[in-house]
Amino acid sequence: MSLLTVGTLAFDDIKTPFGHAEKVIGGACTYISWSASYFTDNINLVSIVGADFPDEELKTLESRGVDLSGLEIKQDGKTFFWAGEYHDNMNKRDTLVTDLNVLDDFDPVLPEHFKKSDYVMLGNLTPSIQAQVLDQFVDRPKLIALDTMNFWMDIAMEELKAVIARIDLLIINDEEARQLSGEYSLVKAAEMIHELGPKSLIIKKGEHGALLFHKGEMFFAPALPLSEVYDPTGAGDTFAGGLMGYLAKTDDTSFENLKRAIIYGSTMASFCVEAFSLDKLKVLNQDMIRERAESFKKIASFTL
């Protein structure tokens, strides 16, 4: 099945206690697409970059099965740039610079053949832009997933709720779930978010795993305890990419398969944080992915 991915391609500048990566490739859509590409070679990418974005990066994406006909390249523009710094324990980060650049003019237009994409992953973007993508579908996709952040809850809650009402699967972290619902208990937050529209909700909790709420059922997904986290940038997008890539590959949105999709998403995210930028994501193979997924199974299994 085909997977539509919408979001940023970017340059990142990342400081962590382990080093400083200057002007490396980043962006939600990059992480999503790379991660998904290990599960499907039928990916339709919608994004915007400036003339400064390396052609080689785009060629590599194409070689992974990513259709770039929905990518706008603005010859007189510069690519979105983000600089951030992580402290001590990696679970606190400061944004140092956000240069929207070409993202200011992002007006996503889906090529005709993208409008029949089966699965849709809307990366974190202005809610109205996410809605604009959905407006262009003639038939409803099989599953629409959306990522967002607290920033949009602060400044555009109504637009955000309007687009959330149109999707199937919301993927956010625990803080965001609490802010969106006004409930501290994640069980209550999930009930409230279901009422907004999505029948499925994934709450990401970083090193504490993830929770899936789906039509009254619940799944507690483990995280893999790691010795070192070198760079958490893109881990959430990599999670979403692996998850959606797996769903597109298997074309099965049952509770049991959503659980597997979360494990594969978590598997990809656990690789992502082991190196700066996309460095680790670019050198994986199916054996590595299978073996890592098995280790999730191993650490979480018990009998009564």
Q: Which of 52, 195, 251, 294 binds a second copy (CB under 8 A)?
A: 294
- Min dist CB 281 to a second copy, Å, is 20
Phi, psi values for residue 135, rounded to 5°: -60, -25
For the window 252-281, what string marks contact with a second copy as x by the rule CB under 8 A? ----x--xx--x------------------
Q: Which of residues 50-89 bind a second copy (CB under 8 A)?
A: 88-89
The CA–CA distances, whole Å, from 156 to 29, 104, 148, 161, 196 equal 22, 16, 11, 9, 15
Q: Which SS3 state, helix, strand or coil, does residue 232 take? A: coil
Stretch that binds a second copy, among 32-40, 143-151, 165-173, 182-190 (CB under 8 A): 182-190
Q: Does residue number 186 form part of the binding site for a second copy (CB under 8 A)?
A: yes
CB 118 within 8 A of CB 48: no
Q: Which stretch binds a second copy (CB under 8 A): 119-127, 230-238, 277-285, 290-298?
A: 290-298
CB 128 within 8 A of CB 66: no
Q: Total residues at the site for a second copy (CB under 8 A)?
A: 37
Torsion 143-147-150-156 (CA) sign: negative
Give yes or no for residue 215 binding a second copy (CB under 8 A): no
- Closest approach, Cβ 205 to a second copy, in A, equals 7
Least distance in angstroms from the C-beta of 91 to a second copy: 9
Contacts (Cβ under 8 Å, ≥6 apart) of 238? 31, 32, 34, 35, 265, 268, 269, 271, 272, 281
Rounded distance, CA 130 to CA 144, Å? 11
Candidates 185, 195, 251, 291; binder of a second copy (CB under 8 A) is: 185
> Does residue 172 belong to the site contacting a second copy (CB under 8 A)?
no
**Least Å from the CB of residue 170 to a second copy:** 16
Stretch that binds a second copy, among 5-13, 56-64, 107-115, 186-194 (CB under 8 A): 186-194
Which one, of 165, 208, 172, 166, lies nearest residue 189 by Cα? Answer: 172
| Interaction of residue 303 with a second copy, rule CB under 8 A | yes
Contact by Cβ (8 Å): 76, 100? no
Give the shortest CB-223-to-a second copy separation in angstroms.
7
Give the Å distances, CA to CA, from 35 to 172, 235, 281. 18, 10, 7
Residue 223 binds a second copy, judged by CB under 8 A: yes
**Matching residue, tokens 């710094």:** 85
By CB under 8 A, name the binding residues for a second copy: 88-90, 184-188, 205, 207-209, 211, 218-229, 256, 259-260, 263, 293-294, 297, 299-300, 302-304
